């Protein structure tokens, strides 16, 4: 596995690979890797000639009071895991490599961002689309892989690629879960023992709420989720049912929907979702 820290070297390496006709798969991460990240690499390895993973904790997508400084980091461990799972190039720039000067142009996400995480984290997705625009320009991927746990992010990135005509296929990969259903997340390390026992209720409640939506509608489904979470120590940041990937209020013609939620514990904010269909045959 080759480790690159320079933006210029990454761009040149990617250009050389493209000239050789190599298909580049890209897995952008903020590190502290877990099985969810590794499942993205597995998918990339199976569909690409070269797999590039980036590890970069992006300050632009953290708001005031969020956990940028304390976000878990373990580069030595991440390098070992990345190599074991088949990453060919690990791109680990520091902040000055990606943001060397104050930018004269900003990238702004204007759709699919006013709901869910975007509603409570203003500017978050602007930071996401900004850093991805830079990374896509440097890595030059043919395909990029995103976990479905961050379903809103995947939807926003699809919009970015279409709007700016990046020649990249965005491939969502199914959420990787613990045996009890809790979505794998770097922030799970913040949970106390009691909170870790309670956290699987989030996914269980999303699934049952989706079923209730199909038979009773949106209000009973949301109320069911709220009651389930009220029984544990977590506090709901948001829960909503929307069309997917448009992330708008469902219309009768919308058959692919998402129920998504964020639940705050003492030191962790966990997100999860269930994407479901109103058509039985899908």
> What does the pLDDT look like over 85-103, one tens digit per residue?
999 999 999 999 999 988 7
Detail the residues annotated as belonging to a binding site for ATP.
30-37, 147-150, 176, 184-187
| Residue 280 resides in a domain | no
Kindly report the number of other CB atoms within 10 A of residue 62's CB atom.
18
Q: Is the pTM of this model over 0.75?
A: yes
Supply the residues annotated as catalytic.
Answer: 37
CA dist 71 and 29 (Å) reads 13
Detail the residues annotated as belonging to a binding site for (R)-pantoate.
61, 153
Tokens standing for residue 166: 């990046």
- Mean predicted confidence (pLDDT) in 62-66: 75
- Judge if 98 and 213 occupy the same domain: no
- Mean predicted confidence (pLDDT) in 126-151: 96
- Judge if 153 and 260 occupy the same domain: no
- Judge if 156 and 190 occupy the same domain: no
Number of structural domains in the chain = 2
* pLDDT category of residue 65 using cuts at 50, 70 and 90: low
CA dist 263 and 230 (Å) reads 11
- Choosing from 173, 201, 224, the residue where a domain stops is 173
- Judge if 207 and 259 occupy the same domain: yes
Detail the residues annotated as belonging to a binding site.
30-37, 61, 147-150, 153, 176, 184-187
């Amino acid at each position: 596995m080759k480790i690159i820290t320079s933006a210029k070297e990454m761009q040149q390496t990617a250009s050389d690979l493209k000239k050789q006709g190599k298909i580049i798969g890209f897995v952008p991460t903020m590190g502290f890797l877990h099985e969810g990240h590794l499942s993205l690499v597995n998918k990339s390895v199976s569909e690409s000639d070269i797999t590039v993973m980036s590890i970069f904790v992006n300050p632009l997508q953290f708001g005031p009071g969020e956990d940028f400084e304390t976000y878990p980091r373990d580069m030595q461990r991440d390098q070992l895991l990345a190599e074991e799972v088949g990453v060919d190039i690990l791109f680990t720039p520091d902040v000055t490599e990606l943001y060397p000067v104050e930018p004269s142009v900003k990238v702004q996400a204007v759709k699919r961002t006013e709901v869910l995480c975007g509603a409570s984290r203003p500017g978050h997705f602007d930071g996401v689309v900004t850093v991805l625009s830079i990374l896509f320009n440097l890595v030059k991927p043919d395909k990029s892989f995103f976990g479905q746990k961050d379903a809103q992010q995947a939807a926003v990135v699809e919009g970015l690629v279409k709007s700016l005509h990046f020649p990249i296929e965005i491939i969502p990969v199914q959420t990787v879960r613990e045996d009890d259903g809790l979505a794998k997340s770097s922030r799970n390390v913040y949970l106390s023992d009691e909170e870790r026992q309670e956290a699987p209720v989030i996914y269980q409640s999303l699934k049952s709420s989706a079923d209730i939506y199909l038979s009773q509608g949106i209000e009973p489904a949301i109320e069911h989720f709220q009651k389930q979470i009220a029984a544990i120590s977590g506090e709901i940041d948001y829960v909503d049912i929307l069309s997917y990937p448009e992330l708008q209020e469902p219309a009768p013609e919308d058959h692919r929907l998402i129920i998504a939620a964020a639940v705050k514990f003492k030191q962790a904010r966990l997100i999860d979702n269930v994407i479901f269909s109103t058509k039985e045959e899908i």
